[in-house]
Structure 1
Amino acid sequence: MRRRAFVRRAGVGSVAGIGGLGAFAGCLTRDPEEEEEEVVRDENELRIATYSSMVTGETPAGAWLAETFEADREDDVEIVWTVPESGIENFVRRAQVGARIEADLYLGLTLPELVYVDETLEDRLFETLQRDRLERDERVRTELTDAVEEPHDRLLPFDTGYVTLVADETELGPETDDDGDGDGNPPEAVPRPGVPETFDDLLAPEYEGALLAQDPRRSDPGRAFLLWTIAEYGDDFLEYWRNLRENGVGIREGWTEAYRESYLEGERPLVVSYSTDRVGASAAGRELRRHAVTPLDGQGYENVECAAVFADSPRAELAYEFLEFLLSRPAQREIAARNVQFPAVDEERVDLEGRFDEHAIEPEEAVTFTYDDLRGEFVDRLEEWEAEIP
């Protein structure tokens, strides 16, 4: 990866999870910000905070995880999901004012979010993992463990993905112009720009108004794309974003708004998404020419999703049992299939469906930043972006 020096500025940016609501199996609480009355909890109740797509949609991973974990036990355990509107920032604000943290686990925590937590709070929001309670943590791929290494050992990877562009080749690729004159001559091909290959390509006139991206303050792929541009341009990343804005980039709140509500509706032919996009498109029976995975410069930004245990959770024992379950072969297989992400464990341990092997793409080069790269820099960079780009 081509890393360049960060420039530090004072301030705190806003980091939050993907928004969106929907029905799913299991229990869903209101945003914890609204729950101010004393809550009496059953000793067999495990509360897990996560992002919306983990528990919404037709076949969400969260529903399978809850149903299977509950069914495999003799006691009457219940998984209760919480999807706070402002993601991790909800818990940061609660910690700042001494409010209750009702969740026991956070499922989907990323390294930039943990850096935000550490730079904002004096006390730790998450506890150091008690590795002696986990037998399967050695299954996690070494490169993922290394990618999320941090001083207090709080993160357990459960899946990973690569943020790339996804392109609609029916809009960007060659188009046949059938004039219907019946002369028997083959139709002529109308030239089109094709898919972009570099970051600079996105600034060309032929891609004006073509790209959909997500707000890095509220979206994991949005943050990953911002960090990817920082890795590419260093101190000049804001200038690149100014040029993207001038070329008509569309910024949506989260992945759902950018991908499901805009890209799939044909609003624009390019979107920031994941290199596993064709797996989901194939399963849904969509036209695969509309789902051309497009790594820029052969790269993708690696986004490792982790689980973390909230400090002082009254259900720590149950939380660790759930973490152990997350790394089981069936759970890793279902997370990969339903989240359409790569499993955290070695793939030979997971019997993935044929379409995953056929359509999932790993970029030639994975771009990422370490905890030390991000600490003292990322929040400031996010603030710079926030002050100028939206």
Structure 2
Amino acid sequence: MKKIRAEALVFLGILILLFIFVNSYMGVSNFFKTLMLTAHDLLINTVFFIMSIAVITGAFSGLLFEFGVADLIDVLLKPFIKPLYNLPGVAAMGILTTYFSDNPAIIALAKDKRFMKNFEKWQQPLLCNLGTSFGMGLIVSTFMVAQGVRMGINLFPAVLIGNIGALVGSVTSVRIFSFYTKRELGNSSNEKFVSEKYYSSSRHGSIMERFLEALLDGGKSGVDIGIGIIPGVLVISTFVMIITFGPKDPSIGYQGLAYEGIPILPYIGKKIFVILKWLFGFSSPELIAFPLTSLGSTGAALALIPKFIDMNIVTPNDIAVFTAMGMTWSGYLSTHIAMMDELGYRHLTGKAILSHTVGGLVAGIVAHLMYLFM
């Protein structure tokens, strides 16, 4: 009971100090007005836009799996999986499922004994970092390409570079993590199937029936992803916006408008801007908000892009870096613990997170360097 009371008192103390701090800058009335208006605008103009992309990409990926295109890609990728990740070729299916959906899709595969029999014990935890590296990949890529319309330029080359950066980041993450898993779990092998084939099953019926069912079921999965990102976008993005941008018109001061706030992140960004510029080529201190938000929710991070574009502080290099880091991290801090728990390796969660943090940084650096040279 004493512990609960102490926790409550500490929390209330922090809350009061926060309100005093906010009131000294914005005023409590303006703060709550900004809070509501920002969340509402994010819901209408960002969440629904991301959801529409998720529905279309979900329907598209449903068709790829239904008519065997994903299986064909899987076969083509297998020769590269072993040298890159030191994993069985069937791990390519994990990359595809997460790229077309989200991080937890790898867990559905991990629950299938046919799939897991192909992996040695030390390789099984690596599926967490492998899948997370490509989570929401298609949605992130499509969203970034679509922003080219707002910027008036073709962003496809930058997004492609970002995807390559994410690939390098994933290899880095998996390879670093494998160092720990080998040490913890040893190199003992499982009894493997003779064949590593793991193909998706098709629906019954005519081609048209299968086409429509795959299209609609894939679209429904996009709706689920769109609904799933709402808490992250509205809570995390609203908070990040409030500590990223200042008053809309500094000469007037705070008016309680959407996206106003106390520019704490730009202040931090300015202090380390030389490092950010050198590592990622960021053009503005405010851009530090994207990778930080990606740690908890990529959907929330994507919500920042339109605002950055409106402020005219984003370049194609930044889009390449955002794509790489957004894909590689894809909100891993909010999913890694649960995913490692589902895989049965909770005790390795810290090592998995450390490895993936490095992987995301490498992804951003590689994307920046590739953009400079290409």
**By the TM > 0.5 criterion, same fold?**
no
User: What is the TM-score normalised by the length of structure 1?
Assistant: 0.24
Q: Which has the higher strand share?
A: 1
